[in-house]
Structure 1
Amino acid sequence: MNKVVYILFFLIFTTVSAQEVEILDYYSKEAIVNVAVFNNDKSKTALSDLDGKCDISHFDTNERITFKHLSYEVYKVTKSQILKNNSLVLMVLKPEQLDEVVMSISKWEQQKKDIPHKIVSLNARAIAFTNPQTSADLLQNSGKVFVQKSQLGGGSPMIRGFATNRLLLTVDGVRMNNAIFRGGNLQNVISIDPFTIKKTEVIFGPGSVIYGSDALGGVMNFYSKEATLSTKDSLLFTGNTNLRYSSANNEKTTHIDFNLGKRKWAYLTSFSYSTFDDLKMGSHGPEAYLRNAYVSTQDGVDALVTNNNPQKQVPTGYDQWNLMQKITHKPNNYWDLDIGLFYSETSDYSRYDRLIGPNSEGNGLHSAEWYYGPQKWFMGNVQLNKKGKGKFYDGLRITTAYQYFEESRNNRGFQDPILYSTKEMVNALSTNVDFENKKIGDLRLYYGASYIYNNVNSGGSQKDISTNVVSDAPSRYPDGSSWQTAAAYLTGEYKAMPNFSLLSGLRYSHVWIDAEFDKTFYPFPFDDADLSTGALTGSIGFSWFPRANLQITLNGATGFRSPNIDDIGKVFDSEPGSVVVPNPDLEPEYAYNMELGIKKNYKDKLVFKGAAFYTYLVDALVRRDYLFNGEPQIEYNGELSNVQAMQNAAKAYVYGFEFGLEAVLTENISLVSNLTLTEGVEEEADGTDSPARHVPPTFGDVHLIFRNQNLKTDLFLNYNGEITNDDLATSEQEKTYIYAKDANGLPYAPSWYTLNFRTQYELNKEWRIGCSLENITNQRYRSYSSGIAAPGTNLIIGVSYSF
């Protein structure tokens, strides 16, 4: 009996006295190993174990304890505060780590310092600080990606002179590009909820070896947050709520997510909703951007009315909501299953650039209505992972996904009673099998295969708004057409020396297109498009540290883009007065890229990064004048229009330089700057050339950052250079209504700058308050090729609560 009492007393005493704390990454909630724990005079110390745990029972209740790790910000807190926080310590990763892990190059974790490609990573902490409205804004806030906008509900990234369907989007390793991704500006990236993103990795340059078609100029990988398992037998319940308001478009956003975790099962649920009013531009800048009048329709009659507030861009507002459900199951240390369900939907939203152009008669605007219907995206993704002990691999990942895309276009000319509409739906299936092999000494192999199938449904209609009579009209794409691809790849990373890594890979892809054309509305001179084409792409590069503080990278890569349904089978008005028709005789376009990078670290006080690149594009798919049944013009939506089609009619080259600077001025103050310079030319088959369309102006930023344990502030300048009329692409020169006028009355894109301030204060581990004042000097500007003017002075207030 005495022994039983003694054992019970011992267990109770041990439980009380052994005060164990768990140290986790603030955002990923992963355990942090080897955190040094000590008091002010270092007379008491501890070290976190493999589970991120350590015992602090020998520290006094009100004693101030320091938590220090090479990769994380130093964290100081009293023991009593730790115990109030359920014995949990959350540490924040430092902004730049030489040993940062990336996944985009091989789909498996690799040290960033061993990669010859330029990769920009944005983690959840950085995203939360910038507090972007959409994922397009998230990319733009990086200072390294240029973003074009035709409307408020949009954002089309440009990377190294490439854009739209020459860039690849992925979500959790699943390709988002589908068979109707177009060469014109895209807004699909806004379907990705920035509140759910754990990390974004942007690859600069071709990524076709791993990702196949479309990855010519770069790859944007979005990795969403995962459901978190409990490390104890008790239920883990955590969550976040966010509220945000922006004054320039009267944005009101709410977000909530919560996690339920047991040892083997975990569930993460997320919901976000945003509503945006019409966007207000700045006060100081070109008068050509002002919205002096807009079309108002009363009783079916269009009239041009004066805008009482010309800085208000009418109509640009819209609503959006996003849902995400994650399920994780980990039956043992070798297997885990991840299920992701995503849904995004917008309201109708106007394409603003189509609503500001004048009509040919000069008595109004070209369009009375031009709006996209709800943009819908659903993805169901199942990923099975296995670690170790395989005969030919150390890691196995099988990813299967289904996606559904829906979009529509609706347009009506000024004082025209007919509203023309098209609606597109894409069903996409994909399967990827990826292997990692680390067993061959200093050589690591990554290999796998993939299959993707897209089915496109497209329909058209026209409605007389005066009688509400609806009748059939041409569809945008061949209804029931399909696009599919199968591929296999092999890449290897060889650690030749501790300071020299070689990375190389090959991929073979085959693409099939099957489309039948309906001749009800147009007498097409062909019945179908039947494409079967293959492409072999490769890459080779190295990362070399001649000295510990100096890194040199060199990389060569090829990329390709196979024509898709949008290229081969589309019928649409590319711009007022022009119509694009199908062309089934297209071939893939190929890119050849070289990139040299350098990174120099001066005593951890100053880090300089530089990169130079050159990309040559052959058989470029471009929109050019065309003959349809021998005629240069046809009637489209009641208007005689010039005929154009996509053609392998050009070559192009793009080159440029990218610079980055990070300086530690004091323990709390740092300076960060980026600068990108790009030039590009398209060469026609007849030997003439013109500026490339998707080459942005010189752009950059400078950030002065202050941070301590609870406060971070950022005073920063954004800058865009000028593009003269001579340097505008021919297709851009024709869009006179979106550009300012130079001294000769010709369209051009003026330079601009904005001064901005951003801050975030952490009241405690539960509450954070963020505040930004953008465009403090209230500049009126339009980013290059954008149809909508940027916000004027914009106050953003955000509040978040974690539980």
Structure 2
Amino acid sequence: MQNNLTLLILLFSLLVSNAQEVTVLDAENGQPVMNVAIYNQDKSTTTITDFSGKASLKAFTRNELIYFKHLSFQPYTVLKKNLAKKGYRIYLEPNPEQLEEIVVSVSKWEQQKKDVPQKIANVSAKDIAFTNPQTAADLLQQSGKVFVQKSQLGGGSPMIRGFATNRVLISVDGVRMNNAIFRGGNLQNVISIDPFSIKNTEVIFGPGSVIYGSDAIGGVMNFYTKNPKLSYTDSTTVTGNATYRFSTASNENTAHAAVNLGFKKWASYTSLSYNNFGDLTMGSHGPDSYLRNTFVTTVNGTDVLVANEDPKKQVTSGYNQINALQKFKYKPNPNWEYDLGLYYSETTDFSRYDRLIRPNGSGDGLRSAEWYYGPQKWFMANSQITKKGKNKFYDGVKLTTAYQFFEESRNDRGFGEAIRYTTKEIVDALSINLDFENKKIGDLRLYYGLGYVFNKVNSTGSQLDLSNGDTEPTASRYPDGATWQTFAGYVSGAYQVKPNLTLLSGLRYSQVWVDATFDTTYYPFPFKEADLITGALTGSLGVSYFPTANLQLTLNGSTGFRAPNIDDVGKIFDSEPGSVVVPNPDLEPEYAYNIDFGISRNFNDKLMLKATTYYTYLVDALVRRDFTFNGQTTISYNGEESNVQAIQNAAKAYVYGFEFGAEAFLNDHWQLEGNLTLTEGVEEDDDGTDSAARHVAPTFADAHLKWKKDKFATDLFLNYNAEIAYDDLAISERSKTYIYAQDQNGNPYAPSWYTLNFRGSYQFNSQFKGNMALENITDQRYRPYSSGIAAPGTNLILGLTYTF
């Protein structure tokens, strides 16, 4: 009996002893972290982790709050008594500053940012959590480096260096989102990416066609979602968070929850978000022409124009959205990794607000009774297999296969009309990428691979007679069953000439096929099909040079291209009142030639200055211009005689600009940041006429005064956009008088505007964190350039996050 008692005492003592020891691990790779400082609030008790990431906690009391701190990781706090729930293991998240030194976008493999000659902006998970954006479009806009246009609340079309829509590329976890019906008009597909699920975002400025192929002319936006985290032990770990957000300008209610289940060799990450946005309210001080004085409602089957009780409320701009993400990771050993991601996003119907405020021909009413997008749906299944380890031909290989499903529709009905016209599009997209990394050839690091993309477009048209409920088929927006596919191979290399001098170059050849058959039931097309086969060779050559340790110079030359897609070749739609775009099967790719120069200077880690200047020349530009259809300049479309237009290789363009950024670290608590972007661009038609490029954003800037101390973080900042005068507006924008203010001559123009804003966060304890923002404090009424909806007025945003 005494021996048994002694054994029990020894076992109990051993368990207590083990419970007094904590292990600190890197949350990204599960490796132990040594030299982590562990201390209590008044630092009367301190210790550090050893080589195995372990440290004894015997000196700390059970109810004491323990702090974990390391220069390369984010600080962490926890009550000692709660460590048992965590298996006495702490996972530290790497500092965003550390992550920013590594980029993936340029080669699809990790590279030192300092070796890359292209400008890359990184938005970290920490930045996202602090700014608390409503959508991924707002995430980009809040970076201060990307301009975002909105035609409606459920929208956001990024503009980068004078290019937008199908001339910039969106990628999610290495898979291109751009599909065969990405158009030259403004796009809102980026809102399908849930900001709550994003780990970090990398934006490449300038052509990225060597790695990403068609569409990557102005830049590439890479969104990397959060990955499942392994436990790296025999014990199961369960972590997660829940967030609620409310904003006053749209009466928004958002809820989000995420759970990570980690085992030694496999893990699961689940994320779910729901957004409910009401009608957006604009500011009080600005042009009266932006006010929503009237709107259309239907009473007993009759359209009625009624007065808006609150003209600042942009009636029928609200919508709902749900986003879901499920990812699995299996890592049987250090060399092999298997990842599966399932992504889903769906909106409710949402109004295209700029079409709802268009006046009718006489100017005494509104043109449309209804104009809304049907549910925007996006699904992706993404499978990645990664193998690391030295081989004769590679040190790393990654196979990525993905299937995507896109669904969208357009529904419009004229005021007083009984017919509602609907077009519906479904795109099925398959992609396969095989990417290799090789570091064997001395100081030369090679990246190479193959890629294939296949898109099929299903498009239907119908018209509903609301007076009797009859539905009839009508012309579709695109040729039904059309396909777009591309096959490409690329090679890229980084060569370290000297420790302070790196060359980066690459080549890619892409072959593109377009196959479409046109239905002549509704329109007597002078052709029956489009069968395009085009190819493009693109390349890049750049240098990153450090004359001194604190000065970096970069010079980069690159080419980009965009092959015609189904939207260019086969679309039929009303581009603007009185105009209709018709198919044109005789198109060639457009090419861009770009050069940019950058300089960065670090002044004793107290001041960082960055500047970039660039010039891009676009030839054979695919633009919308007047056209003839069977020899006619006008045709009847939806009952209206309309001017005929088509996408044509009818112009060239040049865009140039300057980008500047600064960071000043005043002390341990205070920091100043700012960005300034100036862009100019001109489109020149083949007949010699020229005009301002449509997607050149106005000069925009931001300035931030940040303060951090212990559990507090604050940011007082100013956003500014310069004016675009009537003479500097693109020709296509001048006809949209209903979205612009009027100058003293009665011509449309985009006024300058500014907003003063404040945001802050407070970490109540290790589990609860609060966010608060007050945007547009002075309640300015403004519309960002080319936007159809006015921006929010004074907007209070509150958020609360619980982490376990």
Shorter-chain TM range is over 0.9
**1:397 alignment partner AA:** K
* CA–CA separation in structure 1 for the residues paired with 2:209 and 2:687: 30
Contact 2:38 2:67 in 1 (8 A): yes
Counterpart of 2:332 in 1: which secondary structure? coil
Aligned equivalent of 2:48 = 46
Aligned equivalent of 1:667 = 668
* CA–CA separation in structure 1 for the residues paired with 2:743 and 2:575: 25
Contact 2:77 2:766 in 1 (8 A): no
* CA–CA separation in structure 2 for the residues paired with 1:617 and 1:386: 39
Residues 695, 454 of structure 1: alpha-carbon distance in 2 compared, 3 angstrom cutoff? same
Counterpart of 2:97 in 1: which secondary structure? coil
* CA–CA separation in structure 2 for the residues paired with 1:605 and 1:8: 59
Contact 2:232 2:265 in 1 (8 A): no
Q: Which deviations, in whole Å up to 9, do the C-alpha atoms of 1:626-657 show, x marking residues without a partner?
A: 01111111000000110000000000011001
Aligned equivalent of 1:101 = 102
Task: Please say which of residues 376-385 and 327-336 is displaced more in the overlay.
Answer: 327-336
* CA–CA separation in structure 1 for the residues paired with 2:107 and 2:6: 57
Counterpart of 1:153 in 2: which secondary structure? coil
Counterpart of 2:610 in 1: which secondary structure? strand
Tell me the CA shift for residue 362 of structure 1. Answer: 2.8
Q: Which deviations, in whole Å up to 9, do the C-alpha atoms of 1:19-61 show, x marking residues without a partner?
A: 43233567x58556344426689996534546xx222346444
* CA–CA separation in structure 2 for the residues paired with 1:98 and 1:397: 21
Contact 2:86 2:237 in 1 (8 A): no
Tell me the CA shift for residue 3 of structure 1. Answer: 11
Q: Which deviations, in whole Å up to 9, do the C-alpha atoms of 1:724-783 show, x marking residues without a partner?
A: 000000000110000000111110000000011101111112111111110010000000
Residues 617, 363 of structure 1: alpha-carbon distance in 2 compared, 3 angstrom cutoff? same
Aligned equivalent of 2:410 = 409
Contact 1:23 1:48 in 2 (8 A): no
Residues 21, 501 of structure 1: alpha-carbon distance in 2 compared, 3 angstrom cutoff? farther
Calculate percent identity across the aligned residue pairs.
64
Counterpart of 1:121 in 2: which secondary structure? strand
**1:346 alignment partner AA:** T
Counterpart of 1:234 in 2: which secondary structure? coil
Tell me the CA shift for residue 390 of structure 1. Answer: 2.5
Counterpart of 1:140 in 2: which secondary structure? helix
* CA–CA separation in structure 2 for the residues paired with 1:84 and 1:531: 61
* CA–CA separation in structure 2 for the residues paired with 1:319 and 1:65: 41
Counterpart of 1:227 in 2: which secondary structure? coil
Task: Please say which of residues 560-569 and 458-467 is displaced more in the overlay.
Answer: 458-467
* CA–CA separation in structure 2 for the residues paired with 1:131 and 1:423: 33
Q: Which deviations, in whole Å up to 9, do the C-alpha atoms of 1:93-112 show, x marking residues without a partner?
A: 54534971110001011111
Aligned equivalent of 1:620 = 621
Task: Please say which of residues 141-150 and 292-301 is displaced more in the overlay.
Answer: 292-301
Unaligned runs of 5+ in 1: none
Aligned equivalent of 2:430 = 429
Aligned equivalent of 1:233 = 234
Q: Does 1:252 align with 2:253?
A: yes
Contact 2:37 2:70 in 1 (8 A): no
Residues 776, 43 of structure 1: alpha-carbon distance in 2 compared, 3 angstrom cutoff? closer
Aligned equivalent of 1:763 = 764
Aligned equivalent of 1:329 = 330
TM alignment of 1:453-468, pairs within 5 A = 453-468=454-469
Residues 517, 599 of structure 1: alpha-carbon distance in 2 compared, 3 angstrom cutoff? same
**1:55 alignment partner AA:** A
Aligned equivalent of 2:55 = 55
Aligned equivalent of 1:194 = 195
Contact 1:35 1:68 in 2 (8 A): no
Aligned equivalent of 1:780 = 781
* CA–CA separation in structure 2 for the residues paired with 1:749 and 1:49: 60
Counterpart of 1:17 in 2: which secondary structure? helix
Q: Which deviations, in whole Å up to 9, do the C-alpha atoms of 1:347-378 show, x marking residues without a partner?
A: 00000000101111333211111000000001
Residues 112, 523 of structure 1: alpha-carbon distance in 2 compared, 3 angstrom cutoff? same
Aligned equivalent of 1:16 = 16
Contact 1:98 1:112 in 2 (8 A): no
Contact 1:387 1:394 in 2 (8 A): yes
Contact 2:47 2:55 in 1 (8 A): no
Superposition CA RMSD, Å:
2.2
* CA–CA separation in structure 2 for the residues paired with 1:81 and 1:323: 30
Task: Please say which of residues 325-334 and 102-111 is displaced more in the overlay.
Answer: 325-334
Residues 132, 672 of structure 1: alpha-carbon distance in 2 compared, 3 angstrom cutoff? same
Counterpart of 1:452 in 2: which secondary structure? strand
Q: Which deviations, in whole Å up to 9, do the C-alpha atoms of 1:425-473 show, x marking residues without a partner?
A: 0000000001111122211111110101000000000111111111111
Q: TM-score, normalised by structure 1?
A: 0.96
Residues 64, 425 of structure 1: alpha-carbon distance in 2 compared, 3 angstrom cutoff? closer
Aligned equivalent of 2:683 = 682
Contact 1:35 1:67 in 2 (8 A): no
**1:681 alignment partner AA:** V
Counterpart of 2:333 in 1: which secondary structure? coil
TM alignment of 1:208-607, pairs within 5 A = 208-607=209-608
Aligned equivalent of 1:183 = 184
Q: Does 1:33 align with 2:37?
A: no
* CA–CA separation in structure 1 for the residues paired with 2:718 and 2:744: 28
Tell me the CA shift for residue 73 of structure 1. Answer: 5.1
Contact 1:443 1:495 in 2 (8 A): yes
Residues 30, 355 of structure 1: alpha-carbon distance in 2 compared, 3 angstrom cutoff? farther
Residues 696, 363 of structure 1: alpha-carbon distance in 2 compared, 3 angstrom cutoff? same
**2:345 alignment partner AA:** S
* CA–CA separation in structure 1 for the residues paired with 2:674 and 2:448: 37
Contact 1:37 1:65 in 2 (8 A): no
* CA–CA separation in structure 2 for the residues paired with 1:136 and 1:46: 42
Unaligned runs of 5+ in 2: none
Q: TM-score, normalised by structure 2?
A: 0.96
* CA–CA separation in structure 1 for the residues paired with 2:784 and 2:746: 19
**2:395 alignment partner AA:** D
Residues 7, 334 of structure 1: alpha-carbon distance in 2 compared, 3 angstrom cutoff? farther
* CA–CA separation in structure 2 for the residues paired with 1:64 and 1:329: 35
Counterpart of 1:353 in 2: which secondary structure? helix
